[in-house]
Amino acid sequence: MVKRKNASNPDGETDWNYETKVAEIEAIITRIESGELELETVFNEFANAVQYLRQCETFLQQRQQQVDLLIETLSDE
C-alpha cells in the first residue's frame, strides 16, 4: 500500500489514502453487520462510512479529471 502525500486530497490530510479509506469503510460495514453495536454507535459508524465514501468519490473524480486532461493533451498532439 502506497501512502500518497498530496495537498489536494479530499480531506486535506497529508497522509490520506484511498485504499485505507476503503478498508475503513469495509471494517465499518462488518461492525454494523455484526449486530453487536448499540444503535447510537451504528448511526455514528454509518455517518463515518458516508463521509469516507464522499472522500473516495471526490478523490476518484479528481483523478478522472486528471486522466481526461492527459488524454486531451495527447489527442492535441
Q: For residues 60 and 18, what is the distance between their CA atoms, to the nearest angstrom?
A: 9
pLDDT in tens, 15-44: 899 999 999 999 999 999 999 999 999 999
Residue 7 neighbours by CB distance under 10 Å: 8
What is the distance between the alpha carbons of residues 39 and 65, in angstroms, rounded to a whole number? 39
Q: Note the pLDDT of residue 75.
A: 82
Q: Is 30 exposed, middle or buried (0-12, 13-18, 19+ CB in 10 A)?
A: exposed
Given a cut of 90, whether residue 5 has pLDDT beyond it is no
* pLDDT value for 9: 60
Going from the C-alpha of 55 to that of each of 30, 33, 38, the distances in angstroms are: 20, 22, 26
**pLDDT band, very low/low/confident/very high, at 11 (cuts 50, 70, 90):** low
